[in-house]
Amino acid sequence: MEAGAARAGAAGKMAGVCLASAAAREPCRRWGATALGVHRGLCALLARKPERTPRGRPACRQKSSVSFLSRPDLPSLAYKRLKGKSPGIIFIPGYVSNMNGTKALAVEEFCSSLGHAYIRFDYSGVGNSDGNLQECTVGRWRKDVLSIIDDLAVGPQILVGSSLGGWLMFHAAIARPQKVVALIGVATAVDGLVTRFNQLPIEVKKEIEMKGVWNMPSKYSEEVYHIPYSFIKEAEHHCLLHSPIPVNCPIRLLHGMKDDIVPWHTSMQIADRVVSRDVDVILRKDSDHRMKEKADIQLLVCTIDDLIDKLSIVVN
């Protein structure tokens, strides 16, 4: 497989597999004043030699400020929004992550430079949003995502989901097929926490059930996640990989091959299960679960740019 250019079918589906370990060498040339124009997809884009074009920045950059979405009988959600062109972009963060992460901010900067609408937000119980984290569930966070789409987003939307946010973006695409026009998953953790729990030894699972909490250390900090057993049991009702996933829009799944939290094979499994035939799995050989290094961010914004071009062609 040649880096950045090879494609293969995923379990008989027309899903592209692109190994993008060298993606950072290629600037996303519309992140600035230079237009990319029409191209033959992301792998072709990454295979090009960079043009020696100055990457200027707009003189005036739109800033977003924190606002709150009030909802009857549900916690208010903190969010930041940029108004702009369609399709809009919505960033859906990972488990207990807030809207100020590296990827969320990088995507905001990119959307601002293009003049596209963008929304990032905190789940209920997380960051600046109202709510009690210990009472949150996958189902409640699913409602949060749908509230953002229904009450804040205008027109068609590209959803960018990180880790657990990738799981939720599929639920949003199923629930709002007319509004969600493309998906980009970063280390997509569909069924992730349930799968990890089920892989634990029987005696460990019994102990967690008795104590009512799963104390899971973070691999990237000294933090320990205290996940209620009830959270895992509720999450089982939202699993998707046991049957075909009824999503038909373009899907791009970015994954690091050194991800030891959500194995990259999960993205291959999603590509096999999803109904859409416009699916690319893009692997970064040296990236871990966070996918927050410069090369990872470059790949993410280029993928967004590629889909904006694709959707513009379809509309026109």
Q: What is the DSSP letter of 134?
A: G
Q: Is 286 a catalytic residue?
A: no
Nearest in space to 307 (alpha carbons), one of 108, 186, 159, 125? 159
Outline where the chain has alpha helix (H): 42-47, 102-114, 138-151, 164-175, 192-198, 202-211, 229-235, 265-273, 294-315
How far apart, in Å, are the Cα atoms of 151 and each of 31, 108, 148?
29, 20, 6
Q: Is 70 a catalytic residue?
A: no
Q: Which residues make Cβ contacts (< 8 Å) with residue 23, sequence separation at least 6? A: 4, 46, 284, 295, 298, 299, 302
Exactly one of 289, 296, 305, 309 is catalytic; name it. 289
Exactly one of 259, 272, 305, 309 is catalytic; name it. 259
Neighbours of 311 (CB within 10 A): 18
Q: Is 162 a catalytic residue?
A: no
How far apart, in Å, are the Cα atoms of 16 and each of 205, 244, 256?
37, 18, 16
Q: 304 near 28, Cβ under 8 Å?
A: no
SS3 string, 194-234, reads HHHHHCCCHHHHHHHHHHCEEEEECCCCCCEEEEEHHHHHH
| Alpha-carbon span 202 to 234, nearest angstrom | 19
Q: 247 near 168, Cβ under 8 Å?
A: no
| Alpha-carbon span 129 to 161, nearest angstrom | 19
Tell me the backbone φ, ψ of residue 82, rounded to 5 degrees.
-110, 130
Q: 180 near 173, Cβ under 8 Å?
A: yes
| Alpha-carbon span 159 to 213, nearest angstrom | 31
Exactly one of 112, 162, 163, 276 is catalytic; name it. 163
Q: 251 near 282, Cβ under 8 Å?
A: no
Catalytic residues: 163, 259, 289
